[in-house]
Structure 1
């Protein structure tokens, strides 16, 4: 069951379906003994009997053996090896080689490329005794191997492995591939465009399948996937099975990157485009969304869903990606990114990306996957709530009057929020901009945001000033402190009210008064609907001023 969010509920009548799915998953595979110098020495003794040959030369020879064995195997089996150049995207190089046979299982491509890696170096004294085993200070660029594998459950899986001991690896996969295969196995209708299910799919069935990926059982499935391929298809070129067994070489797994998306299928593509463009226009300024990118394509989206009587949809199929205008806006906070963009003709995707899951503060080992996804789901729902609050903002009749009145917190009397003062306006603006921050914001971050807006130095507006201003907002229940931390979050109702004020001031009062004080000349031929409203409002406002005898200075 999806956690409901304000944005989806508000547009429920316009939606044909909704599903949540785990997208990209990147796991780190590491050999625990190989993470310390002492551990490496102990493992080498288990492998060779002693450490007399543990030196830089023999470590390089192991990397060379890896390469020679792999090239010989691929030449014998007819598996292509592609050398990737700097800047080339590995998944694009792999696309022409993906097997067309749906029953194919196993390795179908190897891509090689240079990348930085932690390489051990061994120091010995004049007597030949080891004095230190340490990582090189600057990670050198060494050969990495990208094994592209077709798995029966997870589809296209990539294992990236370093050729040097302790052969660190990453497993890269996509949750949509697993859902697609489950749908095919259960004969469910699912139409896939890239890594997204689009119109023609049974979204309720897809959502039920995708929900399984967020359950604890997924941890076992991922571990089985790793064990199925990493030893027999990748590590075997560095250490044969007998060497793996003799040296007790065994990987452990942790989560490195995760993506979780909520996909909204609209009834009409034109409706989706209208909702999305209005959302961008209304939230970009209040939420300080600086990263808005549009990739242009076809201008017309499908107006309606497929008619009855047309060709039936296959159980599972991939459709060609249509090059509609693609607009992406995103909010990036450290290693966490929140973004919204359109997929295909009628799907709007909201996505949370953890570029490094350490920023989720829930652990990194594979057993923590469910908790990590739970935190990402909470971030996604909160982000949509904040966007919706900024998108559809409103003020009740007495909001400004209540804000301006003082409040009492315990024995402390706090001044009201006078929005006629520039400092208070900057604080409100900064709080709204920081409201999308997944973990909340600190006083230092608020102070920095206010300094940027007011053009003040850190000395003129410090964290102490921010604490005082934030206390006034807390008194009005516009923000609250995150329990057990020194961070603060803006309530959705508070964001809605503060955005309403910003919109009222910047989009209504200022443009109207500017037009009254400095009347425009001849109007341009092509005016947007908003500009047409402004013109009519200014004309009526001028007549009102004449009636009441008020002259614009």
Structure 2
């Protein structure tokens, strides 16, 4: 039996934490409501009557500037089709620029996309004078993708919408940035897709990854915005009409490269096997090369016959834990490395603000989540609970401040359902009164009437026993290290030992075990008869 602790402790050749995909919004803070649009046209541009015709002229000027920029620098303009994967279309241009070793705009992609822009509504001000109000609405407008090859970041793009207030998107990759910095200082490494397979000095590489900060990304943005054709100019910038960056999607990764591909595979096979009955995810997804996704787990209504698919070398297993708008994903990278990524699609999910300057806080919280997932998986296959710890939880005790901590009695159906629910993967990101109660109800069964008051009582005794703690300024809870060990130990002993052993005289217990139990039962019965003890009524 493979234990993931043995795999992680003995077969990891390289372990690196780094930002991966970085996707940002660019917005003009003082152009976000209708009144600011009117002020822009009247006070900044000096127009008496705010009108959509003014905005149309600005957009027309910007589109002409893009064409002139492409002509002067001989940059191809590519019209994206509806189903195009943009990076694939642009890859040949990026590859050619990379070979030249010179930073530059490699191509300009044009797409019609829905954007949240200002729409005008005409109102009659009286005396036949037209007047307009401006409100945000989703409209299908022209967007320009400036695909770049940057000496520091490699491939990236800056997307500029051609309609007011000209929202911007920025995409770069943290691993690609780290590769270029390592090359500049002469640090030897080999690549694993966009990550690292090996490195001469892993500690030095980690220090490089840690130096990718919000100011580094801001410098990249400023550098290119000074070179690209834009709908706002230096005059606008002097009066504060310029873009600021906020975080749209941030991927924080932890990559563990194994010394042989078989160890990467055995890690996932052991992990999935260990979680099919304890902490079971709603869906286990096996992705087959050249085929669509196959789902194991809850039955799916399907008219086609169910079939068993053997997991082969071409199968990629992916674990996803979803939380609000974000998720944690765990998968094999090129069959050689374990990649854990926390993907934050809304910084508020982790109580962080959106502006780019808050990236360090967000990254640290995401790294903590990655570590918590691995710690949870480690404990899941090594959850020994010493006798004093077991007794402290299984019997009523008194806390250090004199409060009574009710017992969590092993075998009690409600306690076992509660701890079973706490083993679920979703608790890596925390849980609420409501979400935990729903899972406990699932384990207790439809006949149980598990009330909100019972859930409140159970949360209190979990907290008093030191098994859970509460996030500051939040109604979310998380398992403490003791809580994780207790939940897994109780659940595994109950599900994996006692339940099958108590039913060992029945199928599907092996024949050899059932025969042995019948032999033991026969001998015990003989001793009882020899002692002339009657059978209980």
Q: For this structure pair, what is the TM-score category when the shorter chain's length is used for normalisation?
A: 0.7 to 0.9
Counterpart-to-counterpart distance in 1, 2:101 and 2:83: 33
Counterpart-to-counterpart distance in 2, 1:10 and 1:400: 28
Name 1:232's counterpart in structure 2: 227
Name 2:242's counterpart in structure 1: 250
Q: Does 1:89 align with 2:78?
A: no
Counterpart-to-counterpart distance in 2, 1:68 and 1:474: 64
Q: Does 1:38 align with 2:35?
A: yes
1:345-397 CA-to-partner distances (Å, cap 9, x unmatched) read 43111111111212121212222121111111222222221222223333334
Name 1:381's counterpart in structure 2: 371
> Could you tell me whether the CA contact under 8 Å between 1:46 and 1:246 is conserved in 2?
no
Counterpart-to-counterpart distance in 2, 1:141 and 1:514: 64
1:5-42 CA-to-partner distances (Å, cap 9, x unmatched) read xx889833322121111111122211122112222222
Name 1:132's counterpart in structure 2: 133
Alignment map for 1:363-442 (pairs within 5 Å): 363-397=353-387, 402-408=392-398, 413=404, 415-433=406-424, 436-438=427-429, 440-442=430-432
> Could you tell me whether the CA contact under 8 Å between 2:505 and 2:513 is conserved in 1?
no
CA shift at 1:245, angstroms?
5.3
Counterpart-to-counterpart distance in 1, 2:406 and 2:425: 23
1:249-285 CA-to-partner distances (Å, cap 9, x unmatched) read 3222222221111111222221222123212221354
> Could you tell me whether the CA contact under 8 Å between 1:19 and 1:207 is conserved in 2?
yes
Which moved further from structure 2: 510-519 or 380-389? 510-519
Counterpart-to-counterpart distance in 2, 1:499 and 1:222: 42
Name 1:156's counterpart in structure 2: 155
Q: What is the number of equivalent residue pairs in this alignment?
A: 496
Counterpart-to-counterpart distance in 2, 1:46 and 1:126: 19
Name 2:284's counterpart in structure 1: 292
Would the alpha carbon gap of residues 548 and 355 (structure 1) be closer, same or farther in structure 2, given more than 3 Å must change? Answer: farther
> Could you tell me whether the CA contact under 8 Å between 1:262 and 1:350 is conserved in 2?
yes
Name 1:23's counterpart in structure 2: 20
1:13 to 7, 10, 21: 10
Name 1:499's counterpart in structure 2: 488
1:544 to 509, 515, 520: 520
CA shift at 1:87, angstroms?
4.0
Name 2:298's counterpart in structure 1: none
Gaps of 5+ in 1: 1-6, 299-322, 521-533
> Could you tell me whether the CA contact under 8 Å between 1:158 and 1:171 is conserved in 2?
yes
1:61-108 CA-to-partner distances (Å, cap 9, x unmatched) read 433443344245435544233333334332222223213324121111
Partner SS, residue 280 of structure 1: helix
Counterpart-to-counterpart distance in 2, 1:378 and 1:125: 57
Would the alpha carbon gap of residues 144 and 544 (structure 1) be closer, same or farther in structure 2, given more than 3 Å must change? Answer: farther
Counterpart-to-counterpart distance in 2, 1:502 and 1:297: 35
Counterpart-to-counterpart distance in 2, 1:435 and 1:491: 15
1:451 to 441, 448, 456: 441
Would the alpha carbon gap of residues 420 and 245 (structure 1) be closer, same or farther in structure 2, given more than 3 Å must change? Answer: closer
> Could you tell me whether the CA contact under 8 Å between 2:396 and 2:407 is conserved in 1?
yes
Counterpart-to-counterpart distance in 1, 2:104 and 2:258: 38
> Could you tell me whether the CA contact under 8 Å between 2:251 and 2:341 is conserved in 1?
yes
Counterpart-to-counterpart distance in 2, 1:448 and 1:544: 43
Counterpart-to-counterpart distance in 2, 1:26 and 1:212: 18
Counterpart-to-counterpart distance in 2, 1:252 and 1:243: 17
TM-score by length of 2: 0.83
Name 2:207's counterpart in structure 1: 208
1:425-464 CA-to-partner distances (Å, cap 9, x unmatched) read 22111122266342x222122212222333449x932322
> Could you tell me whether the CA contact under 8 Å between 2:190 and 2:199 is conserved in 1?
yes
Would the alpha carbon gap of residues 72 and 375 (structure 1) be closer, same or farther in structure 2, given more than 3 Å must change? Answer: same
Would the alpha carbon gap of residues 474 and 539 (structure 1) be closer, same or farther in structure 2, given more than 3 Å must change? Answer: farther
> Could you tell me whether the CA contact under 8 Å between 2:265 and 2:335 is conserved in 1?
no
Q: Does 1:347 align with 2:347?
A: no
Partner SS, residue 265 of structure 1: strand
Counterpart-to-counterpart distance in 2, 1:289 and 1:194: 28
1:114 to 72, 87, 112: 112
Gaps of 5+ in 2: 291-312, 529-537
> Could you tell me whether the CA contact under 8 Å between 1:331 and 1:436 is conserved in 2?
no
Q: Alignment RMSD, CA only?
A: 3.1
Q: Does 1:474 align with 2:469?
A: no
> Could you tell me whether the CA contact under 8 Å between 2:331 and 2:340 is conserved in 1?
yes
Would the alpha carbon gap of residues 456 and 231 (structure 1) be closer, same or farther in structure 2, given more than 3 Å must change? Answer: farther
Counterpart-to-counterpart distance in 1, 2:513 and 2:461: 35
Counterpart-to-counterpart distance in 1, 2:145 and 2:336: 35
Which moved further from structure 2: 507-516 or 167-176? 507-516
> Could you tell me whether the CA contact under 8 Å between 2:321 and 2:426 is conserved in 1?
no
Q: Does 1:105 align with 2:96?
A: no
2:268 to 268, 271, 276: 276
Counterpart-to-counterpart distance in 1, 2:356 and 2:171: 14
Would the alpha carbon gap of residues 285 and 148 (structure 1) be closer, same or farther in structure 2, given more than 3 Å must change? Answer: farther
> Could you tell me whether the CA contact under 8 Å between 1:480 and 1:489 is conserved in 2?
yes
Counterpart-to-counterpart distance in 1, 2:344 and 2:508: 50
CA shift at 1:484, angstroms?
4.7
TM-score by length of 1: 0.81
Name 1:490's counterpart in structure 2: 479
Counterpart-to-counterpart distance in 2, 1:506 and 1:46: 72
